[in-house]
Structure 1
């Protein structure tokens, strides 16, 4: 489904596209840079706050654009260090954005390292069997403005209680495209969003602090490698053999490991950065020592770091996480095989922080009230 907004959002414009429209309307092109400064550096949420712009120009902006194409519905903070925003779009669709804090020794929680996990689609069409994002099906792709505005909501919230915004434009350290949706199936939006975030007139956020996660769309991995944007790449592997991977990831039928691994290797060689292999540990499915051995082979070939993630329980799905001793044994097998590896213990369970959980719960509640 394709969605056409009543008016475009400024967050989807580049400096050049905005300048072109401003000049076509009879105003001076330099106003574009002033507008971008109000958006990204001063983070205003109204036209009247743009006080150095003429009133007639502000009126034109109001007639032509909207500011935020997303509106917060729920803002939940977990008992650990996770915060989730549920955002409503113009068509009443819901998406999720998660802020994950990683406390560091000697600093307060608000000054810890912060990673923002953004969504790029409403739902997901790829049907990974362990994920809540696809349970309600795929609705539509997000536009760049709807992705960028997720990050700006986080910036505005962090600005309220941190001094970092005075030193850097962004109020967080890393951006990961690991929320709802498959980033590489919304390719044009992904690239446009990254360029807006990366631009000095935008968030001026380094591409090397942006991670794109994919379920394994091999042709788009190769295409992204040639874009000239040095993002990090994470592969949602979750199975170290085709037989196991196909049980939980239908995409593997189209792009099996024989096609995915060479594409990932080409990306790694093009950018010279260590890849990440995401591996959700599911009891009785992919937590065997045989899978650990096969995973180690892939990781060594790709010069990749493995991120093991014990399964986050989702209502309505049958999967279970392995016991802690079995998780530890899996990780230890990787380390003995000389593979760089971490295990990411669950965060945000009390606020349904797994991809799609809060959206699914809210949509169900709305449907019951209708």
Structure 2
């Protein structure tokens, strides 16, 4: 069993089954996540006998690096090989004062968003918790941080390949490891889960863990969002926004949801779209992140013109909607938003549009 796959409660249970004290599990987590060790032999405050037992039952296994690319702007993209011959992509985005790691949660994606290269693959399979967490550990080790005092990763976003909430059983323990003081020890505002709008799982997430949420909205009307984000046919905008209100209810005033909005030339970037979006979000704890479209082969879309993006942002800001325009990073290595593809060995054309009434959620 790969220890990257167990949160603290699960690891304590596994140690109890071995007849060991729970605090031993805490010590092992600290060695892995706070000191960056992947060898039981290096865990010096654990007896030799226990280290030998751990080696018999567990492993600490990272994915295999296939390729690394570095963008002119400093963005790094790693293609990592998983079990079964599949590969996924993980992206590191350094900025002044912060460094964000964009991680994947599925091999491919079933959501079929028409403007996303990943979605055009279809879904192959869910990733395990171990595979999700191993991306973070691999990146921290590769970048040379000491995991504790010299953090090279300040923020984690589940915005890589896949729909995180469609792999809820694996993503939830991963979030807990990222937030745990014995794990990576990140604050709740520095771990963001992005969803295309799986309403029941937004409610479950609120009950299970406190973390930041981003919603891929991309359109202010159901008619347009049905085309761009097909899950809208099952959970239309009104239901989605009600779930978002429930998510922030009772939380402090600084808690807001980020609404992601990809800017598509002539499709969703007109002034009337901006005004409609402002009406939708006017009473909500909301921040809008406008994302210039990143093209990929055979796409039908074009990026909105800079003046259209700025005019759209002005309309929102004039209506007191907190709005940012995302700076495109890593597009010269196909690492920008919506461009990740990885490598799918056994591709299932598991398109959401073909099974809109039965969103696949595969237990791991």
Cα pair distance change 1:247/1:341, threshold 3 Å: same
Aligned to 2:167: 186
Partner of 1:154, secondary structure, is helix
Q: Would you say 1:287 and 2:269 are equivalent positions?
A: yes
> Residues 1-370 of structure 1: matches in 2 within 5 Å?
8-26=1-19, 29-103=22-96, 112-158=97-143, 160=144, 165-167=147-149, 170-227=151-208, 229-272=209-252, 273-354=255-336, 357=339, 359-360=341-342
List runs of 5+ in structure 2 lacking aligned partners. Answer: 346-364
Partner of 1:317, secondary structure, is coil
Instruction: Find the aligned partners of 1:352 and 1:87 in 2 and give their Cα distance.
Output: 15
Runs of 4+ in 1 over 6 A off after TM superposition: none
Instruction: Find the aligned partners of 1:301 and 1:242 in 2 and give their Cα distance.
Output: 19
1:187 offset after TM fit, Å?
1.5
Q: Please give the root-mean-square deviation of Cα atoms over the aligned residues, in Å.
A: 2.1
1:46 offset after TM fit, Å?
2.8
1:38 offset after TM fit, Å?
1.6
Instruction: Find the aligned partners of 2:13 and 2:226 in 1 and give their Cα distance.
Output: 48
Q: TM-score, normalised by structure 2?
A: 0.87
Further displaced range: 268-277 or 207-216: 268-277
Partner of 2:200, secondary structure, is helix
Q: Contact 1:314–1:357 at 8 Å: present in 2 too?
A: yes
Cα pair distance change 1:357/1:338, threshold 3 Å: closer
Instruction: Find the aligned partners of 2:19 and 2:147 in 1 and give their Cα distance.
Output: 34
List runs of 5+ in structure 1 lacking aligned partners. Answer: 1-7, 104-111, 365-370
Cα pair distance change 1:317/1:154, threshold 3 Å: same
Aligned to 1:107: none
1:40 offset after TM fit, Å?
0.9
